[in-house]
Amino acid sequence: MIQDIYPSKLNNSFVNCDISDADFLLVFDNEGRILIKDNADELIFLTGKDLDENKAVYLFSIDETRYFLRFGDEAFSKEGFGYYSIRDIRDKDSGYGVFAAFTGYHLWKWYDDNKFCGKCGHHLELDGKERAMRCPECGNIIYPRINPAVIVGVTKGDSLLLTRYRRGYGHNALVAGFTEIGETLEETVAREVMEETGISVKNIRYYKSQPWGMAQDILVGFFCDAEGEGEIHMDENELKYAEWVKREDIELQPNNLSLTNEMMKVFKERIV
Ligand SMILES: [Zn+2]
């Protein structure tokens, strides 16, 4: 999965430090597209020596490699580099580059969404001690936001409930959705499966979790069993496809970046 970068390791502890020429510099445009080298097989980012007069804020490290974010709204370009959406780069094969880009995107999106104080409207400033934005006027502090969401493998004997979304990613998926205020993760599982497919579930059991910066999520994977016949009543506003598919007929996604794909794979290969 995207976060499985062993033997490399992500260090996301906050440190207030300055960028050096050798550090990686992540640059996003106003639409959240990332600046990477054109026509390269792998993801090649800018480095500290490419930084203009804007500030760069430290994001995280992978092993000894430090990643920074350019902090400024003015347009920025570099010859040989172009802006690509996070979806465009998702299937690039580049070790942990996609994980770094997704995680950088998550933080960029949070900084971009939090320029002004929600209480008093004053400009927010970077906090020097922790990963937070601080209002110099009223003292309001805003921390990075991570949205909990579930991915659900609903099984019925030797079949798994596969879906395809009406918008966005075109490959097979599983039922998924955001946790709403006031419910547990298990309740999210039961509600999302019911809303999207009309199926009641039982034996809800945790599988694994995954950070998914593209949607600012922490995804929590569960398997569960359909109650009764498992007759599907699909929500046509959200899905364009929902079917029971036998283990051997499950068609996987093009790579194993996503928790969804791993869950389809372990079911297909009878590991669960
Ligand atoms: Zn304020």
CA angle in degrees (0–180, nearest 5) for 188-191-196: 120
The CATH code of the domain that includes 85 is: 3.90.79.20
**Could you tell me if 224 and 155 lie in one domain?**
yes
C-alpha 91 – ligand 1 centre gap (Å): 41
Mark out the alpha helices in the chain (DSSP H runs): 86-89, 97-113, 185-197, 259-268
C-alpha 115 – ligand 1 centre gap (Å): 11
C-alpha 15 – ligand 1 centre gap (Å): 24
Q: Show the tokens assigned to 125.
A: 């400033």
Which of 93, 113, 133 corresponds to the end of one domain? 113
C-alpha 36 – ligand 1 centre gap (Å): 35
Q: Using an 8 Å Cβ cutoff, are 16 and 128 in contact?
A: yes
Write the single-letter amino acid at 131. Answer: R
What is the structure's pLDDT at 81? 97
What is the structure's pLDDT at 171? 86
**Could you tell me if 108 and 124 lie in one domain?**
no
What is the structure's pLDDT at 42? 86
C-alpha 118 – ligand 1 centre gap (Å): 7
Place of tokens 């990332």: 34
**Could you tell me if 104 and 43 lie in one domain?**
yes
**Could you tell me if 108 and 118 lie in one domain?**
no
**Could you tell me if 155 and 250 lie in one domain?**
yes
Number of domains in the chain: 3
Q: Using an 8 Å Cβ cutoff, are 183 and 191 in contact?
A: yes
Identify which of 231, 230, 234, 212 has the alpha carbon closest to the alpha carbon of residue 221. 212
C-alpha 162 – ligand 1 centre gap (Å): 46
C-alpha 147 – ligand 1 centre gap (Å): 23
C-alpha 112 – ligand 1 centre gap (Å): 17
**Could you tell me if 164 and 262 lie in one domain?**
yes
What values do phi and psi take at 121, rounded to 5?
A: 85, 0
165 class by beta-carbon count within 10 Å (0-12 exposed, 13-18 middle, 19+ buried) = middle
Start-to-end CA distance of the chain, whole Å, equals 17
**Could you tell me if 200 and 251 lie in one domain?**
yes
**Could you tell me if 95 and 199 lie in one domain?**
no
Phi-psi region of 80 (alpha: psi -120 to 50; beta: other; left: phi over 0): left
C-alpha 136 – ligand 1 centre gap (Å): 7
Inside any domain, residue 129: yes
**Could you tell me if 77 and 183 lie in one domain?**
no
Which distant-in-sequence residues (6+ apart) come within 8 Å of 168 by Cβ?
Answer: none
Q: Show the tokens assigned to 126.
A: 């970077």
Q: What residue ranges in the chain does DSSP mark as E strands?
A: 10-11, 24-26, 34-37, 46-47, 55-62, 65-71, 81-84, 125-126, 133-134, 141-142, 147-156, 159-165, 175-178, 201-212, 217-226, 239-246
What is the structure's pLDDT at 90? 84
Inside any domain, residue 3: no
What is the structure's pLDDT at 93? 67
C-alpha 108 – ligand 1 centre gap (Å): 21
**Could you tell me if 192 and 260 lie in one domain?**
yes
What values do phi and psi take at 44, rounded to 5?
A: -115, 120
Give, for all 272 residues of the chain, the pLDDT tens digit: 999 999 999 999 999 999 999 999 999 999 999 999 998 888 999 999 999 988 999 999 999 999 999 998 889 999 999 999 998 888 776 679 999 999 999 999 999 999 999 999 999 999 999 999 999 999 999 999 999 999 999 999 999 999 988 777 678 899 999 999 999 999 999 999 999 999 999 999 999 999 999 999 999 999 999 999 889 998 888 888 899 999 999 999 888 899 999 999 999 999 98
C-alpha 142 – ligand 1 centre gap (Å): 10
What is the structure's pLDDT at 153? 98
CA angle in degrees (0–180, nearest 5) for 156-159-162: 105
Identify which of 97, 199, 212 has the alpha carbon closest to the alpha carbon of residue 148. 212
C-alpha 68 – ligand 1 centre gap (Å): 26
**Could you tell me if 85 and 31 lie in one domain?**
yes
> What global pTM score does this model have?
0.93
- Give the range of the structural domain holding residue 119, as residue numbers without chain letter: 114-144
What is the structure's pLDDT at 79? 95
Q: What gap in Å lies between CA 114 and CA 194, rounded to an integer?
A: 35
